[in-house]
Structure 1
Amino acid sequence: MRLQQVLSYVRKAVDDYHMIADGDKIAVGISGGKDSLTLLYALHGLRRFYPQKFDIHAVTVDLGFGNLDLSRIESICADELQIPYTIVKTDIADIIFDQRKESNPCSLCAKMRKGALNEAIKKEGCNKVAYAHHKDDVVETMLMSLIYEGRFHTFSPVTYLDRMDLTVIRPLMYMNEADVIGFVNKNQVPVVKSPCPADGYTKREYVKQLLKKLNQENPGVKERMFTAIQDGGMTGWPPPDTSRR
């Protein structure tokens, strides 16, 4: 997938849900994975022609596993994209796996990681943070909520965090995971593998494989689920504004 195709998906999401306003300073949470790096390239490309002017600041929360090599991402930000990049060092891995020895570490890790990320973002003067959740993430989260919580819920395109005075946006929400993989492979984006020992062994991974099987056996089911989310009147999901297309 070419960058122009990625930009068409991102521009549509940004316009449909009014994600970006003139003068925004947007932090991009960079894990080093395929999704966050695709988002970084997309927002960098969008900034060149989007009518609302905005700035970007890349931020990575280093969990402290000791084997996370971010040198190529640092080079991309400094030399290729010319975007400021902040790496936040933490002891989250030690706290969760060594001190607390959590059997289900993902929830606590996510909370601690977001806390460290939000604190760094506010220090840099950003008013928004972009997360790299794509369409598969949206549907998988809805299925997880149904299966494990008994409610119809998923994260919204735009979320205001009143305690932090910070707005979360999700510009990749119209992209399929396969599109992201295609972009990364075609453009040889240097993805950094997650050092987390729980990676690939989570409830989300189970639901990811379940959705994949459902979509194979019932072609188009993922798209229909996504449409149901958009049209279901869920909190945080207003009808898309098609007037700006």
Structure 2
Amino acid sequence: MERQMEPCQLIERSIIKKYRKELWTPFIVAVKRYELVQAGDKIAVCISGGKDSMLMAKLMQELQRHSDVPFELVFLVMDPGYNEINRQKIESNAALLNIPITIFETDVFAVANNSDKSPCYLCARMRRGYLYKKAQELGCNKIALGHHFNDVIETTVMSMFYGSQLQAMPPKLHSTNFPGMVLIRPLYCVREEDIIAWKR
């Protein structure tokens, strides 16, 4: 009698088997082409709780499991001031996916809401800073964000129409404010429609 697979095992299998062409292959292409992961890295995989970052976390787990290159992972969740329901949802999804998350609290939402500046811009800037700082405290040399191919295209097009200069979203970026830290985007070649299809 064939042993029944756990939900997490079914999810992992879907990434490697059913959605290999759509998810696993473009993920590996980005990792290799842009040299996102190297031996000895300690990477903070930043999880917001959405489909993109959760998928990225599973892909990075699978890469660590199957790769000949030794590297460490920390799954980092920044709580910017979530309500209890949102936080519990992130925790339960992480448990379902067998992702051992590390949560730390910040006051990003409160500060952004009380500022005269654009709250969205300020929130994004503060989030990034807190993630870099916490990752550095944990001994990481890289942070991984869940931006996908569509995000890259949208950012470039928006900068063409509304910005004074062309701005791209690179797959790898060395931080100027946190020396020695590198930002990577492992989903750089993965399309949003394929992520949505997998999520269903």
Q: Same fold, TM exceeding 0.5?
A: yes
Q: Which runs of 5+ in 1 are unaligned?
A: 186-245
> Are residues 1:93 and 2:104 paired?
no
Shift of 1:52: 1.1
Who is 1:241 aligned against?
Answer: none
Who is 1:109 aligned against?
Answer: 123
Q: Is the 8 A contact 2:58 2:97 kept in 1?
A: no
* Cα distance in 1 for residues equivalent to 2:191 and 2:96: 29
Q: Residues 173 and 156 from structure 1, CA distance in 2 versus in 1: closer, same or farther, beyond 3 angstroms?
A: same
* Cα distance in 2 for residues equivalent to 1:155 and 1:36: 17
- Residue 67 of structure 2 aligns with an amino acid whose one-letter code is Y
Q: CA RMSD in A?
A: 2.0
Q: Residues 68 and 112 from structure 1, CA distance in 2 versus in 1: closer, same or farther, beyond 3 angstroms?
A: farther
**Identical pairs, percent:** 33
Who is 2:167 aligned against?
Answer: 153
Q: Is the 8 A contact 2:46 2:75 kept in 1?
A: yes
Q: Residues 25 and 75 from structure 1, CA distance in 2 versus in 1: closer, same or farther, beyond 3 angstroms?
A: farther
> Are residues 1:183 and 2:195 paired?
no
Where 1:22 maps in the other structure, the secondary structure is coil
Shift of 1:65: 3.9
Who is 2:24 aligned against?
Answer: 7
Task: Note the 1:2-41 alignment, pairs <5 A.
Answer: 2-4=14-16, 5=20, 6-41=23-58
Q: 1:49 aligns with which of 66, 75, 78?
A: 66
Using structure 1 for the length normalisation, give the TM-score: 0.68
Q: 2:135 aligns with which of 118, 121, 127?
A: 121
Who is 2:6 aligned against?
Answer: none
Q: Is the 8 A contact 1:35 1:180 kept in 2?
A: yes
> Residues 43-67 of structure 1: CA distance to partner in whole angstroms, max 9, x if unpaired?
0111111121111111111111424
Q: Is the 8 A contact 1:21 1:54 kept in 2?
A: yes
- Residue 66 of structure 1 aligns with an amino acid whose one-letter code is N
* Cα distance in 2 for residues equivalent to 1:55 and 1:71: 26
* Cα distance in 1 for residues equivalent to 2:110 and 2:165: 34
Q: Is the 8 A contact 1:62 1:68 kept in 2?
A: no
